[in-house]
């Protein structure tokens, strides 16, 4: 059962979407502001986000940019704006699809199903099947699971991809350009995207940039993952 975050400030539209998507067997959470949406995706794992552009605290386009800084969850834009140039800009900014209001729930669920198929197909890229062990880290690429010192890590899809990619090259400094190409499948991008994901990953590994254990950033060069030099006290 796919989980959906509906970001919509109109209470009537929001209530209708919650009811109809629930009836269509989706698990639904909803918020009315961009900041609430950012908090939701930081604490819960969703399969897709339906994002309205006309939010009261932040324009949806800016909210999309901020979402893309912390998660790669598929985002469908729901908007009353039908300007082609803006729609193209949003797609380039990281939206996976868009719908112009008003739309039927059947249309929305069809678009969601298509986005989810693409997302799941993308996560099936070839990957090593053997477990990767670096210090107390154990990464299972086949099951997409990771443990640190015997405790399971709750990682987003992109966090797992980043960790697995670096762990597969222990001690090797990986340039940011290579990370963007291999993990994000982008020829170019904002370094802040990498920094945000590294920050979230460090937090889950129990370390900081100032006191790294596994993840080490070499300014102007790249990032490497290696086992801690000293055991955890």
Q: How many residues are listed for the chain in this entry?
A: 233
- Owner of token pair 């300014």: 219
Judge residue 171's burial from the number of C-beta atoms within 10 Å of its C-beta, 0-12 exposed, 13-18 middle, 19 or more buried. Answer: exposed
CA atoms within 13 A on the CB side of 116: 16
Euclidean distance between CA atoms 47 and 176, whole angstroms: 27
User: Which residues on adjacent β-strands are paired with residue 3?
Assistant: 27
Per DSSP, 188 falls in state S
Euclidean distance between CA atoms 73 and 215, whole angstroms: 24
Residue 67, pLDDT score: 86
Residue 150 phi/psi, 5-degree rounding, is 85, 0
Residue 24, pLDDT score: 86
Residue 125, pLDDT score: 47
48: left (phi over 0), alpha (psi -120 to 50) or beta: beta
Q: Residue 115 CB: number of other CB atoms within 10 A?
A: 18
Buried b (16+ CB within 10 A) or exposed e, 58-81: bebbebbbbbbbbbbbbbbbbbee
94: left (phi over 0), alpha (psi -120 to 50) or beta: left
Q: Which string of DSSP letters, residue by residue, matches 115-128?
A: HHHHHHHHTTS---
Structure-token pair, residue 4: 């959906």
CA nearest to 21, candidates 118, 99, 97, 112 = 112
Residue 189, pLDDT score: 58
Could you give the angle at the alpha carbon of 87 between the alpha carbons of 105 and 83, nearest 5°? 95
Question: In a structure prediction context, what are the per-residue pLDDT tens digits for the chain, which is 233 residues long?
Answer: 688 999 999 999 999 999 999 988 889 999 999 999 988 988 888 889 999 988 899 887 888 888 887 788 889 998 887 777 888 788 877 888 888 888 888 888 888 887 887 766 555 444 445 788 999 999 988 788 999 999 999 988 888 989 999 998 888 888 888 888 788 766 565 667 788 889 999 999 999 999 999 999 988 788 999 998 765 54
Residue 1, pLDDT score: 67
Model pTM greater than 0.75?
no
């Amino acid at each position: 059962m796919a989980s959906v975050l509906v970001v919509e400030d109109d209470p009537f539209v929001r209530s209708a979407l919650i009811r109809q998507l629930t009836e269509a067997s989706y698990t639904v959470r909803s918020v009315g502001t961009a900041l609430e949406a950012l908090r939701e995706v930081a604490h819960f794992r969703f399969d897709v986000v339906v994002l309205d552009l006309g939010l009261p605290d932040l324009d949806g386009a800016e909210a999309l940019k901020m979402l893309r800084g912390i998660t790669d969850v598929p985002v469908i834009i729901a908007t009353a704006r039908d300007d082609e140039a803006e729609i193209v800009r949003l797609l380039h900014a990281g939206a996976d699809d868009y719908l112009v209001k008003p739309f039927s729930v059947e249309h929305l669920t069809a678009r969601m199903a298509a986005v989810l198929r693409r997302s799941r197909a993308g996560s099936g890229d070839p990957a090593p099947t053997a477990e990767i062990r670096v210090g107390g880290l154990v990464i299972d690429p086949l099951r997409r699971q990771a443990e640190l010192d015997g405790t399971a890590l709750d990682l987003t899809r992109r966090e797992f991809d980043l960790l697995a990619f670096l762990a597969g090259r222990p001690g090797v400094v990986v340039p940011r350009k290579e990370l963007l190409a291999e993990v994000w499948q982008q020829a170019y991008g904002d370094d802040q995207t990498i920094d945000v994901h590294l920050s979230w990953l460090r937090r889950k590994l129990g370390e900081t940039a100032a006191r790294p254990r596994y993840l080490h950033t070499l300014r102007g060069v790249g990032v490497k993952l290696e086992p801690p030099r000293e055991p955890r006290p």
